[in-house]
Amino acid sequence: MVLIAPSILSADFGALRAEVQALEKAGADMIHCDVMDGQFVPNLTFGAPVIKKIRACCKLPFDVHLMIETPEKLIPSFAAAGADILTVHYEACPNLKPVLEKIREFGMKAGVSLKPETPPEFLNSFLNELDQILVMTVEPGFGGQMFMESELEKIATLKEMTKDLSLKIEVDGGINPQTAKMCVEAGADILVAGTAVFQDGKYAENIKALR
């Protein structure tokens, strides 16, 4: 079954608790949190203290996507905030293996994300340390961008590379019912969507359309 992970980047930041509860009620499978530091990407969002507050009012797994420099420094804070899956960017980790090991030591699932220009083969030696691979289908930093079809081949390559493993492939950026279909056909297991879930405020209907 394909899982739907709404990104709260498109939510009303002034009412995050209610937004997360509404997503749970609308049938979301997990909550995707886009943490940005204004350095790794040119945008700034929220961090562990905010996640800790909203985590307490929702039973769904929290899928935390760190778009930050030196993510290893904040692994303990995100574990304490209740993150279930912690994803770092390949491009932000010159020494990835110990970062992934530390995420697991802190009791979370470990994910790595690839920007559009990063080749899938770069992950060959890390597959055993990974629970999830997040394929960016836009340049990270902002919601509401156009899906990059050029990334479909990367999804297929990663699916083939991981066929004997229980690892999940997640896609993020420009996902709507049309692009979702292409991604799932290429091998995606989890769909992140911001704009497509939040548009018109019809969360349940929008999640159903993605499924």
Instruction: Compare residues 138 and 152 and give the one whose CB is closer to ligand DX5.
Output: 138
Q: Name the DSSP letter for residue 28.
A: -
Question: How many of the chain's residues bind Zn ion (CB under 5 A)?
Answer: 3
Smallest gap from residue 67 Cβ to ligand DX5 (A): 6
Using CB positions, name the residue nearest to Zn ion. 65
Q: Which two tokens stand for residue 157?
A: 């390559």
* Residues 34/145, Cβ–Cβ less than 8 Å: no
Binding mask 144-183 for Zn ion (x = CB under 5 A): ----------------------------x-----------
- Residue ranges binding ligand DX5 (CB under 6 A): 7, 9-10, 32, 34, 65, 138, 140-141, 143-145, 172-175, 192-196
How many Å apart are CA 165 and CA 83, to the nearest integer? 23
List Cα–Cα distances, 31 to 122, 160, 195, in angstroms.
Answer: 27, 27, 14
Instruction: Compare residues 7 and 162 and give the one whose CB is closer to Zn ion.
Output: 7
Q: Which of 149, 195, 190 is nearest to 176 (CA)?
A: 195
* Residues 186/156, Cβ–Cβ less than 8 Å: yes
Largest CA distance in the chain: 43
Smallest gap from residue 107 Cβ to ligand DX5 (A): 24
Asked if residue 89 binds Zn ion (CB under 5 A), the reply is: no
The site partner of 193 among ligand DX5, Zn ion, none (C-beta below 5 to 8 Å per kind) is ligand DX5
Residues in the chain: 211
Question: What is the DSSP annotation of 17-59?
Answer: HHHHHHHHHTT-S-EEEEEEBSSSSS-B---HHHHHHHHTT--
- Catalytic-residue membership of 172: yes
Asked if residue 29 binds Zn ion (CB under 5 A), the reply is: no
Residue of 34, 37, 63, 131 with catalytic role: 34
Q: Which of 65, 102, 154, 168 binds Zn ion (CB under 5 A)?
A: 65
Q: Name the DSSP letter for residue 6.
A: E
Residue of 37, 63, 172, 189 with catalytic role: 172
Instruction: Compare residues 65 and 154 and give the one whose CB is closer to Zn ion.
Output: 65
Positions in the binding site for Zn ion (CB under 5 A): 34, 65, 172
Catalytic residues: 34, 172
